[in-house]
Structure 1
Amino acid sequence: MSDITDNYPSNVCPVFWKPEDNKFLIRVGDSVKFVVPFPQGGMLYHKGESQETAFKVDAGDILEFYPKFFQGELTWEIEVRDQGLSAVAKVSHLEPGFYALPETLPDSITLRLQDLLIWQDGKPQGIYWDQTKLQGDLLAQGIVYGLLPGVWQSISKVQGRGEVVIAQGKPPTLSVDARLIDLLESKKTEVKEEQRVDYFASKLKLVHEGQALARKIPGVPGVPGKNVRGQEIPPPRPKDFQFKLKKNVRLSEDGLEVLATAPGLPLRMDELTFGVEPAYVLNQDVDLAVGSIEFPGDVFISGDVHDGLHIFSGGKVEIRGSTSRAEIRAEKGLFIYRNALAGKLVVGARYVVRSKLLHDLQALHDDLLACLMITDDFVNSPHGRNLKAGQCLKLIIERRFPDLPKMANELEKFLLSTKDELIQQDLIISVRTAKHFLSGLGPLDPQALPLLGRVSQALEQIIGNITLDVPEKLECHVDYVQGALVECAGHFFCRKGTYNSIIQAAGDISIEGVCRGGRIISGGNVDIKELGGSGITATTVQFPGTKRLKVGYCYANVVIVVDKEIITIDEPYKSLEIYREHGRVEIERLKG
């Protein structure tokens, strides 16, 4: 052992190679206290015992290191993963050789062999597979799809152990599930500072008949994939759903939309359940928090209707409380259980509008026709022979029909401000033409007479096509009315009384209490318990001669109009009854 202990400086640990035993001998230096083996590189012995973990040594100890010789190899194991979507080669590529030690090691406190060993290449002696072997293994595994280019080169480049992806399948594209679009979901809009919010407007979100509430976007199936063995991978089926239908809705013919079968308030009970409520019920007051109500069906209010708000209904309206300076429009009937103060009540608005339209058209047509006939006679008379036709027309308008231009002007304003399916463009043009040739210098136009004649014919035809269909049992019931305007296409009933109100009804009017001030206009019979009063303005009642007026007690200062005949009541009467018989107006009464 003298060759390992002599001729070396004291600050190193000498190393000697023993080829006959394939081992290295290491003399421990004076400073070394610990040695850390490296089992992967070879076996280390101390005092005849194998050491695999760090151990203590003393100066002069001899260590034996038997390096591990590697024959080298290039092998692999092919593994199919991810449900056949990938194939991986688990490669073992080890170089031939062994770990050697240098001639001397540093005389440090700790010797770590891993840091001191030097790799020495050797001759290949192990198993080395080639590209032909790889192709055979792939065929044996049935891997025929998605082979990646350059696989052999990637395997050859592996150092030690590693994985190389050799094939990748094609995954199926994901299916797109059916989805629901709520077509009534309101979009939030930003309100600019300069924009004014109308707190009196209706806040209800309504639907009309045939409107779509929701739509289903059908699911889209995915595209099949293929695994590395060439087998098809089916995509997952898209999830579907079915609408649940409640009242007043149906599915479209293709089954993709929920359609309203009646106008009303849209309902969504849950994610898939839709319906339409044809009636609106509010168990509180109609105030600014609620806003006005515009609803196509019946409306039921348990409270009051506050100032400035309105209720527009295509059905019946029932108000358990009072109304104050409110506008109520009900197409099929109105019930107000308490007071109606100021404001406007319209029952059967379509009939009211059409009735006024027909009345104003008829009045314009009658006066225009009479004006044209008188003008024609005047043109052919001795007094008109020296005048032009336009001058004759202007003269007749000024002397006999001074209100005719005003009638045409007001009718045009009414047509432009009213929405009704009867008001078509030809009607507006006819009335506008009449206004033009009846006003100012219009009558002097040479074309005035022939064009006004055509207007008269057009108005006659339009009037003949207008029909007034009054709903059956159309009624307006109010407990008390004060300072209000009431227009009813049916019958009007008041339980307590009216005060300074204008009440116009196409049917009968019945006031079980008092009627003081204002004007009553009826198309039917009128029955009032107490009419007029002392110290107030005149109270007027107007009705057709084919009907009757009955009053339990009538004060003085009351005006009765039967057709065009005016009767003034100058003293109080009991049991007043007025009617027309045999062409004469009959009055039955008892002095009060």
Structure 2
Amino acid sequence: MAEAMRDGSVGVFQGRIKVTDPAGGGRPAVLVPGPGTRVVVNGTEITAPTEVRTSDSIQVETLTEAGSVAVKVEIAPDGLTATAHCELVPGRRYALLDCAARQQLKLATRAEEVLPALTVEDVQQALTAKGVFVGVDQEAVAALVADPGGVPRVVARGTPPEPGQDAWIELKFHEKKGPPVPDADVQKVDWRELSYIPTVEAGEELAVKHPLVLGRPGQSVTGQELEPPVPKDIELTAGEGCEVIDGLRAVATRSGRPAATRGRIDVLPILVQEDGVNLKSGNIKFSGDVVVKGNVEDTMSVQAGGNIEVFGNATHVSLSAGGQIRVRQNLIGGVARAGGVGVVHLRQEENWEALAKGLEECATALTQIARHPEFGPAAAQQGWGRVLQRLLDTKYRFLPERVRDLSAAYREVGGILAGDVEKALEQLRSRLCGRGALAVTGVGEVWGLVRLTRGLVAGFAEQRGEGLSFEARYVQGARVEASGDIIISGQGCYQAYLFAGRSVRVRGRPGVVRGGVVQARERISANEAGSAAGSPTLLKVEARGVIEVGTVHPNVTLQVGTARHKFDVSDGGISAHLDKEGKLVLH
């Protein structure tokens, strides 16, 4: 009897190849290599479908694809830390899968990811390649080896440089205290007894300079020395009435009031007017402090390079101080300016900035002309003074105008108050106004004017925090300006104009602002503003400022930046400011 036809078959059982031969003329089994396998039949590796029989020697090897690991080391810009992370490419390990027998079988496998091994030596080699050898953290290295796929780790830390200490000046005279000011409940006060002006005697120590202290260098993770920041030095400078010994001690050479401004120590003389200022005494113009034990009478003028203190009243007068002004009683009419030249600086900021910017543009234009291969030689032959004059007559005609405006503004506080600025303005006038530009011989002179102007503007910015104050019990119908604060400690102010570089505080009894204009850069505070009868009153601050008023009456206008609000009815608990969107908030 003839044998039935049956194809051969091949399968995988428990990881071993099982082959069955064909019968009755059937087709032989065919084996096809699969992914991740290496198949050898009778000693020869096969890569294509191959017939196999039970008599064949069949060997199947599962492959393993190696992964890779690269240690990346990054050094911080300051050189104080080295951070390492690993870039991993996982390997693959293949396992042969069981398959049911069939005439043609393609081997099937399962791939498993295998993370490459990382050793401490691998990390050390990467650090060495980057030049890192200082402050290596072996625990961090071990943690990286244990979890190479984790977050980057700081594996080395250098030693930061120890900063030094800036030189500083210790003022000895600030340690002295005056008599305590009585509480507001005290009904009778002798202000003459309470008046306190700090004074020193010749030979008294005024200030001590503490020299700068150098820091210690550090070390980067690559062994580079890291220098600490260089401490700032400050010079102890002797002004009027004192001397500096060995550059470290300032000692008074005369008696007077000590004062300090950015390292310069002065002992200002004190002029005491026992019987007030009147027609008999004449106007007062003094480089130091002026103390008036009495009144400053109608039409009289007091100008001081230091402070002014008036024990009595000041009526329709002019008070101008390079320092502070204190009127123990009332100021009626007239003008008072505390921090004289500083107030002008504040009011003229825009003019100074426009002048500095315009000069820079003009100097830049001249420099471009000088560098041009054709225009430069022609301009030099014509004369740089003529070129500058032409620019001032056309595109930059606003520069002479700014100089004239500034000169007029500082003329009000001339003499002992604005000497340095007057000298600078004189130099600017000599080159920018009239036909003065014709005297210019080179572009460098114009850049010199730029440096002069920018230096003044920078100096004004430094002095901004040194605002000086005006104080009185009551102000009526007067114009008061102060580079710092204006403090009204009694009844208030009526139909007055007040301008303060910082704040205006009307906090006496009743502490009223009635009529007029009150302006401050940062803050205005008062118990009451306006009147029930509707006295027009304006209070305004800059955009970042705040206006605080206990009670506001109709016809009072509050302005913060450019936002304004006029009250039609009385209101209370006002704290006017701009919110984040720039809208005016009243409460």
Q: TM-score range by the shorter chain?
A: 0.3 to 0.5
Give TM-score, length-normalised by structure 2. Answer: 0.43
Give TM-score, length-normalised by structure 1. Answer: 0.42
Give the number of the structure whose alpha-carbon radius of gyration is greater. 1
